[in-house]
Amino acid sequence: MTTQTANTIGWIGLGRMGEAMVKRLLAGGYKATVWNRTASKAEPLVAYGASIAASKVDLAACEVVFTMVSTTDDLKEVLFGTGGLTTGKLLPKVVVDSSSISQEGSAEIRERLEAMGVAYLCTPVSGNAKVAKAGKLLMVSSGPRALYDKAEPYLQAMARKVMWVGEGELARVWKIAHNVMFGVVIQNLCEITVMAEKAGIPRHVFLESINDSVLGSMYTRYKTPVLTNLDFDHVTFTPKLLLKDMDLGMASAKKYGVAMPAAAATRESVSRMVGRGHDDVDFSILLLETAKDAGMTLVSENKVIDDGLQAK
C-alpha cells in the first residue's frame, strides 16, 4: 500500500471536470494523489505534480478525498464496491463529492459513510471543464457547517466563489435546479437563434447582441463560439448527461409538488436528441436539431470569438 502524507488531497474521477479541478489544486500549492478507472487519464497529471494511487483504497490516508464521477451508482461503486475507498483497513476522514447525483442517492451514501465515522460534504459545481480550467467555477456545498469550513480552502483553490447552502443534501437540490435551468436556457437560446437567423440576422451578430443585452451571461458568452462555428466536438456536456439531469429535475418537481412545464418540454426535446444518436458531442448540437425542424441547414460562420474564459 502506498503511504500518503496527511496534508495530501485524494482525488477519484478524472473526466474533463476532474482533471481540470485537480490542476487548479496543484497550481494552488496542494499535493494531490489521484485515481481513475482508466489509468491512462491520470498519467498526464504527474507532470503537474500529482501522484498516482495504485488503488482507491490507497487514498484513504489522505486528509480529504474528493470524488467526481458521472452517476449515483458510479459513486457507490468507487466508495463501497470491490476495492472501494472505504473497503480497506484504514477509512478516510472526509469525502467531498462534486458529482451530479440524486438527492436520495446522496442521502443513502451519507448514511453509510457517517455510520463508518466518515464525514461527508456534498459540493456540486457550476461550470464546465473550460470554466474549471480558468478558475471560475462556483462550488456549492451542503452538510455540517464545521466540515464545510474545514474544506473551504480546498474549494477556494478551484473556484471563483464557494457557498454553503445548508445541511444534508440541499446542494443536490441546488445542482438539480441549476442543471434544469441549464437545459431550458440552451433550448430557448437555440430556438431564438434559429428564428433570428431564418429572419435574416447573421448568427454571430444575433448572439453578440444577446451577450451585450440584459439577458447576456457567462453561459451565453461561452456558448457563442460553439453555436456560431458549429464546433460540437469540443465537448463540455453531453446530451445523455443533460437528459439524466433533466430526469432528476422532473423527479424533484414531482416530489415537491412543483409544476415545471418549461422543463418538461425541454426534457422531451433533449430525449429526442439522445434518441437520434447524439452521444459524444456537446449538448448544444441541439441548435442543429432545432434548425432542422425549421427546414434549415446551418453552416459554420468561422468567426474568432472571445468567450471570456481565458485562464489567469
Residue at which a domain ends, from 111, 146, 167: 167
Confidence at residue 312, expressed as pLDDT on a 0 to 100 scale: 41
Among 167, 195, 218, the domain-final residue is 167
Using alpha carbons, select from 283, 185, 189, 194 the residue that is nearest to residue 233: 283
Q: Is residue 298 part of a domain?
A: no
Residue 307 lies in a domain: no
When pLDDT is cut at 50, 70 and 90, the band that residue 78 belongs to is very high
Q: What's the CATH number where 75 sits?
A: 3.40.50.720
Range name among 104-108, 190-194, 232-236, 288-292 with the lowest pLDDT average: 232-236
Q: Which domain holds residue 39?
A: 8-167
Q: Do the strands 94-97 and 64-67 form a parallel or antiparallel pair, or are they unpaired? A: parallel
pLDDT at 2: 41
In a domain, 303, yes or no: no
Q: Which amino acid belongs to residue 245?
A: D
260 domain-assigned: yes
The answer to whether residue 205 sits within a structural domain is yes
3-class SS of residue 235: coil
Listed residue (79, 74, 84) closest to 96, CA to CA: 79
- Of 148, 167, 186, the last residue of a domain is 167
> Does 118 share its domain with 230?
no
What are the tens digits of pLDDT across the range 152-194? 999 999 999 999 999 999 999 999 999 999 999 999 999 999 9
- Answer yes or no: is pLDDT of 65 > 80: yes
For residue 84, what pLDDT is reported? 97
In this structure, what are the phi and psi dihedrals at residue 162, rounded to the nearest 5 degrees? -125, 150
Q: Tell me, yes or no, whether 304 lies in a domain.
A: no
Q: 123 with 96: CB under 8 angstroms?
A: yes
If asked whether residues 150 and 244 sit together in one domain, one would say no
Instruction: Please tell me the number of Cα atoms within 13 Å of 206 on its side-chain side.
Output: 18
Span 12-23, mean pLDDT? 95
Based on the domain organization, do 34 and 17 belong to the same domain?
yes
Q: Decide if 75 contacts 109 (C-beta within 8 A).
A: yes
pLDDT average, residue stretch 101-123: 97
Mean pLDDT of all residues belonging to the chain: 94
pLDDT at 309 over 80: no
Q: How many domains does the chain have?
A: 2
pLDDT band of 238, cuts 50, 70, 90: very high
Residues 180, 155 within the same domain: no
Task: Confirm whether pTM is higher than 0.75.
Answer: yes
Instruction: Compute the distance between CA of residue 210 and CA of residue 40 in angstroms, rounded to an integer.
Output: 41
Residue 61 domain-assigned (yes or no):
yes
For residues 209 and 196, what is the distance between their CA atoms, to the nearest angstrom? 11
What is the DSSP secondary structure assignment for residue 71, as one 8-state letter?
S
Q: What pLDDT is recorded for position 155?
A: 97
CATH number of the structural domain spanning residue 277: 1.10.1040.10
